[in-house]
Structure 1
Amino acid sequence: MEGLACGPSDEPSEGIVVSKPTARLMMLVNAAVWGSGYTMLKHVQESMPTQWMMFFRMAAAVLLMGVVFFPRLRGIRLRRYVVPGLALALTYWLGFLFQLKGLETTSPGRNSFFTDTYCVMVPFIVWAFTRKRPSWQHLVAALVCAVGIGLVSLSGGGGAQLMHMGSGDLMTIVGAFFFALNFVLVGLIGKDFDAVALMLAEFAWCVLFFGVGAVFTSGAPSTDWARWDIVLCIAYLVVGSTVIAQIFQTIAIQNLPTSEASVILSTECIFAMLVSVLATGETLTIPSICGFALIFGAIVLSEIQLPASSAGARSDKTTCV
């Protein structure tokens, strides 16, 4: 989950300017595409090892982006993107590694809500980097999120256990931490780089990480994976979730405050739950519904700027103004 902040740069053609309504619509489309992708990830995982799936997804995305944005990339000094791309790729790779490992043993809806807790973690990671203490609303959001996770856990054991957190849920939360770290790093270093070129460098490193990991953990790829349902799902993940959604995000967040963009993007978990319920028959219990509502409320609370604390909130966030 990444976004790039606006800022000065030493390369002339970096920012893509769009209107604020257009930027908001791009973020909403991003959230819908990402949210629906959880169910497709789950389907592909049933037949293909996770790291091979991500290798094909990232490799196809790099090739597609290289072709589409070749004219733009020709005027950019790509060598200066190697190190920042590596830094972002490490957190992006680890985030997906833990998130998708969690998805193997939990439902797409639960996985999406736990993944989006990264929004609540961001202010605390910013605190670690900048020494800017989170505001009271961030502390309240963290508490509300914890209560929400506790309620969701009720559905893990059919409502019989208070804290029945499966290993998949815990893996997903660890993945959310790395996504939060990736988000903060992009906000801190992204302003000095072209959005598309930086994302391409990040994905290229991820191809290497996932490829090496796939070979060591799962061996050689199999021809059994060449089924139409798997190919179509991966195509959707490449074109929709990886290329279009990521580009929409990086452009939109250059034209919106990070806080506003994050709130719109947080609706991803709602789209993911709806698709999971409709497509896979995922069931919802009263505790899980209440827990998801609290988690979503915590995500929104962590990102909005309340009138009484707007000045402090602005100082605590990497914004686009």
Structure 2
Amino acid sequence: MYYTSNHSYTCKYYTSNHSYTCKYYTSNHSYTCKYYTSNHCYTCKYYTSNHSYTCKYYTSNHSYTCKYYTSNHCYTCKYYTSNHSYTLAVNKFADMEFEEFQKKYLLTAPQNCSATQGNHIFHWRDIPKAFDWNKWTRKVVTDVKNQESCGSCWSFSTTGALESHTAIAYSTLISLSEQQLIDCAQAFNNHGCEGGLPSQAFEYIRYNNGLESEADYPYTAKDGKCKFDPSKTVAYVADVVNITLGDEKGILDAVYNHGPVSIAYDVAADFQFYKSGVYSSTECKTSPQHVNHAVLATGFNETVSGEKYWIVKNSWGADWGLHGYFWIKRGENMCGLADCASYPVVHD
């Protein structure tokens, strides 16, 4: 322990490899640091009178992560100076560590959703470079919804697909009930706010003979007792189509020729702060047993530089990402997005 006129500190040094840890105390702040000068990286945590933050820097590849806390504001930022084509930003999830975020918003029940051999039939016709059901001749995609603090993304992916396929077939767009799926679909291996799969939810709707509207069976963001009323069903599933494991061309064909497709993938820690651009990750996993979030692919496009991506509707509210949507790299089964794809058939 050392004391000077304006500060005190404790340190442990390892001079053989030029690394050390220190804790400092001054009149207006304290901090701890760990330095590794051999590879030019270090972590620090600072505390001052009005804010605290943690940082991790990697100067060898010029990337770092930071988390800041001020008196009434908390945010996280992550920078990549290499050629990443997406941006992250402060948002409503920035006051949560990823572990907390996982528990509140992602699937927590074990999932294994692969269809080793799917039953999607290709149309084998030319597909344009860009297409989005949000820009069709009439509105066939409902507005972005908010699952809130419940791992019910699977139910929103399910209703989103069924809403659109019903609207495409019958020209009527009705917001459907996620809560009915949360409360009533357990027999089809779904687990309410702990998770489920769209393909299994489609099967429930099929054998249950229908799904109620959002208006008749409203969302509560928590598990509840099943209150299904068969006299109020407004949407139906005649069959369920699963797309073969890893087959992004099958998803492309299905999105263009049929309608939006339910997909699931593995969310990495930085994704909660997505703002814009084509997302990609080397941290996420690409196997069906690791999927932890279900969403809805509504279209596809490519950037001016030729990078192909999916246009995806999320269920974290319109104030997240691209007005509730995100773009994710297409053609590489990014984060396992092509391992669990399915869509409903709404007519015989």
Which TM-score bucket, shorter chain as reference? Answer: under 0.3
Which structure has the highest strand share of the two? 2
Which structure has the highest helix share of the two? 1
Task: Give the alignment's TM-score, normalised by structure 2.
Answer: 0.22
Q: Which has the higher contact order (CA 8 A, sep 6+)?
A: 1
Task: Give the alignment's TM-score, normalised by structure 1.
Answer: 0.23
